[in-house]
Amino acid sequence: MRVPMIAGNWKMNTTIREATALVSEMCPLLNQIENVDKVICPPFISLAVVKELIRGSSVKLGAQNVYFEEEGAYTGEISPLMLANLCEFVIIGHSERRQYFNETGEMVNKKILAALRAGLKPILCIGERLEENEAGRTEEIVTEQLRSSLAGVDYPRSLIIAYEPVWAIGTGKAATGQQANETIGFIRGKIAKLYSDEIAQDMRLLYGGSVTADNIAEFVQQPEIDGALVGGASLKADQFLSIVKQTSEIRSRLSEES
Ligand code: PGA
């Protein structure tokens, strides 16, 4: 059975001081919740501080982006080698990066390859835009995103994929559990074709887009959905804790039943 994961993407929010306060409030409580991987992804500048704050706990750390070169004259960028000693996970290909920073499929692919080379575990984000969804092109779009992102990746053992329909991100208009389950099941099928059944069955596939404490249950009770990438609600300690707690309870109950 796959261990579910809840990852909080803080985006461009929190000063170091605010990040310290939020982690100090959440960490002791998150630490007590079992059977779910709890990952927080603060801004780069807070990674080192947060790493110290979560030391010895079961809370894990991720970055929100990475560049694909190891070092050199790339002003303002952060390399996989810099992150490798700092955090375990890195979000790659988030739709906000594709949309506002012109990240292409080719760049996402280079970042995935570089992150894996450095021993980081990528959380690859894919998902269709509203007009693509309305035109019934969801499967075509995620297939193409998978193909381009994973070119040259021989063995994606540590990869996590977050299916995040762009129209659901930050809009308060989440997909339904059933919609998300269908697309995520489709993605798992594609992974099986690209790699193997075993890899597809082991891989954790998350849903992201307007996840809150009020709707998380709808997602994590679905058989294909292994957790969530949470944006806005991950900045509120009580919301994030409730999302993690519900995930733990629902998944524990489902695994007992099966
Ligand atoms: P949201 O963001 O939960 O605020 O919709 C999700 C994401 O961008 O990963």
* Contact of 23 with 40, CB cutoff 8 Å: yes
pLDDT digits (tens, 9 = 90+) for 52-70: 999 999 999 999 999 999 9
Q: Quick one: pLDDT band at residue 94, thresholds 50, 70, 90? A: very high
Q: 106 catalytic, yes or no?
A: no
Select from 211, 219, 243 the residue to mutate for testing ligand 1; criterion: most ligand atoms less than 8 Å from CB. Answer: 211
pLDDT digits (tens, 9 = 90+) for 206-256: 999 999 999 999 999 999 999 999 999 999 999 999 999 999 999 999 988
The overall pTM is greater than 0.85: yes
What tokens were used for 40?
Answer: 């927080």
Q: Please pick, among 103, 128, 164, 224, the residue that the annotation labels catalytic.
A: 164
**Cα–Cα distances in Å, from 18 out to 3, 13, 120, 125, 257?**
30, 9, 26, 26, 41
* Contact of 122 with 92, CB cutoff 8 Å: yes
